[in-house]
Amino acid sequence: MGDMRLSLGLGAVGLLCLAASTCLLAETVGPVKADTTLWRLALEARPDEHVSMPQVIYALWQQNPHAFRQNNLHHLIQGAVLTPPSREQMLATDAATAKTWYYAQLAEQPLPSHAKPTTSTLVSTRRDNGSATAALSPPPATSADINSNKNAMVIAELDTPDADVSPLTTRVSPAVSVAAATALAESTSSRDTHATPQHPTTAKGSWRVQHEFAAEQRYFNRSGMQGAAHFHSLLSYRGQWSYEDVSRRHNVNIEPYLRWHQRDSDSHLVDLQQAYWRYIGTGWEVKAGIDTVFWGVTESQHLVDVINQTDVTAGVELEAKLGQPMLSLRRTGKAGTLDIYVLPYFRERQFPAPAGRLGPPLRVNQDLTWYESSDGKHNLDVALRYSQRFAGMDVGLSFFSGNNREPLLQPTPSGELQSLYYQMEQYGVDLQWVQGEWLWKLESIYRRTGYAEYVAATGGFEYTQIGAFAQVWDLGWIAEYQYDSRGAQATLPGQNDLFLGWRLALNDLAGSDFLVGVLQDLDNKQSRSMKLEGSTRLSDSMRLSVHAWLFQTDDPLDRLFLLKRDDYIALQLSYYF
């Protein structure tokens, strides 16, 4: 039989099986056809989101040596039928070791002749529905960042007429494109690779440590409403210590995060993003400690995401989270995945002072915080989430009861703001459906709290255009509509708004990608916000990122009015070791 040269990568195809959903297990995967990719086979075999894709791929490779020519991961034999390993077999190799092996395989695949392969391992923080896995070293030359519901790298196959083994390249798209990848693969050369993960396990288990330092410089086009400065510098550190015992069932993860803000002491942060113990059983797992959990599928906002408190001092993106103390239980089976969370302690939302910008016009006095619950921070919050996959559609149903993560801000006679935390109940649903190059998304919630009862929803699509501008680039077109039944009384923009975005992946060795987005208020044509995000890899240990925001409105009653003078651009340089 002919065999096909496959290149590995993380990709939007991976969205076929959401990070928090469960794929129905198949007895076999395959047979391998001319357009089959190893990533797609691994998606079919993946039992649930707790098993990382590198763990699935490694276990598939171990379980099915007949499917790979000379045990070479890059040579999948056409016509082969693979037997999926059990979930326990996949978890037998810890996630960190599987990632190290996986990206070493990426580094050893043929690359364009003008660049050298890199053996740098482990990619950036992964945003999953239901869990967060932090990997701190920068992506290798052939990888791309994964970030809460964004495109990542996918396997791409080339079929050349003069050989049954074709040189391949990684791509970014939810579908394989032969023509668009040909140009990048023309200069590749072919060689066999075979590597086995070297497990650092001893009789006492194994430790793994990584670090990240980042320096960010923000420039604001105008002075703030109270004369705040134009230039702001920020420094941050993130560490990761992980331990796994010899049985690979007990895990300990510790991830501290520190941030220093030049202009605003209220934006300083010392936090534990993760500090938990986890035990993995057969079809279930328990976790106790501090963790960061992400829910949601849409690009412009995450309505269903209620477990962790938002780190507002990190920026207006509202993507960063504070670590949350919890006890969680996960039960996984063919009927789906059920997550139960018990949250014994509440994290208050921290706000930047006026000098730090991108926040309220008055300082929020944390000493005046009010709770509807007599237990205050120690109110016992609970949350549930059930997820399942049905023929390409991933469905999540969630429930939360406890302290509202979004406080009301009330002015005080002293000229400060007071945070009011009411109790709330929230019922949520999130859907994601893949149809070829189309990715359809929906999040909707019903929330009942002490001062309001409302429904909100965000829905839309992302379409990926492969080989844009006659290059090997991929261009994603994003459109989402935001609705909130509270209308003008909504606490955030998005009550009747349209988000349009474009995501460009250059598919280069530096993993360069950019996102431009516009949120337009449909009730007020003069009200809109625009954002820019981008990053590129400078070396094996350094990455440069850029992000910028522009706020436009002339209505003093508009939520964006307080930010209209805070247009800014920021550059961040991250160093990994």
Give the start-to-end residue ranges of the domains of the chain: 3-185
Instruction: Determine the pLDDT at residue 129.
Output: 42
Q: How far is CA 22 from CA 16, 18, 239, 288, in A?
A: 10, 8, 30, 22
Strands 417-421 and 370-371: parallel
Cα 537 from Cα 532, distance rounded (Å): 17
Q: What are phi and psi of 62, to 5 degrees?
A: -70, -40
Buried b (16+ CB within 10 A) or exposed e, 261-279: bbbbebbebebbbbbbebe
Instruction: Determine the pLDDT at residue 560.
Output: 85
Instruction: Determine the pLDDT at residue 162.
Output: 32
**Contact partners, residue 355, CB within 8 Å, separation at least 6:** 224, 226, 228, 229, 263, 264
Quick check: 141 and 537 in contact, CB under 8 A?
yes
Tell me the residue type at 427.
Y
- 476: tokens are 């994603």
For the stretch 279-285, contacts whose Cβ atoms lie closer than 8 Å and that sit 24 or more positions apart, written own/partner, are 279/249, 279/250, 279/251, 280/91, 280/248, 280/249, 280/251, 281/249, 282/87, 282/88, 283/87, 283/331, 283/332, 283/333, 284/329, 284/330, 284/331, 284/332, 285/50, 285/329, 285/330
Apex 213 CA angle, 207 and 216, nearest 5: 155
Cα 506 from Cα 537, distance rounded (Å): 12
Give residue for tokens 């390249």. Answer: 169
> What does pTM read for this prediction?
0.70
Q: What are phi and psi of 485, to 5 degrees?
A: -65, -15
Instruction: Determine the pLDDT at residue 34.
Output: 62
The per-residue pLDDT for range 455-468, each reduced to its tens digit, is: 999 999 999 998 88
DSSP letter at 68 equals B
Q: What are phi and psi of 267, to 5 degrees?
A: -95, -5
Strands 171-172 and 153-154: antiparallel
Alpha carbon 478 to its chain centroid, in Å, reads: 17
**Contact partners, residue 202, CB within 8 Å, separation at least 6:** 246
Residues of the chain with pLDDT under 50: 1-24, 109-194, 199-202
Tell me the sheet residues that pair with 518. Answer: 500, 530
Q: Cα torsion for 270, 273, 277, 280, to the nearest 10°?
A: -170
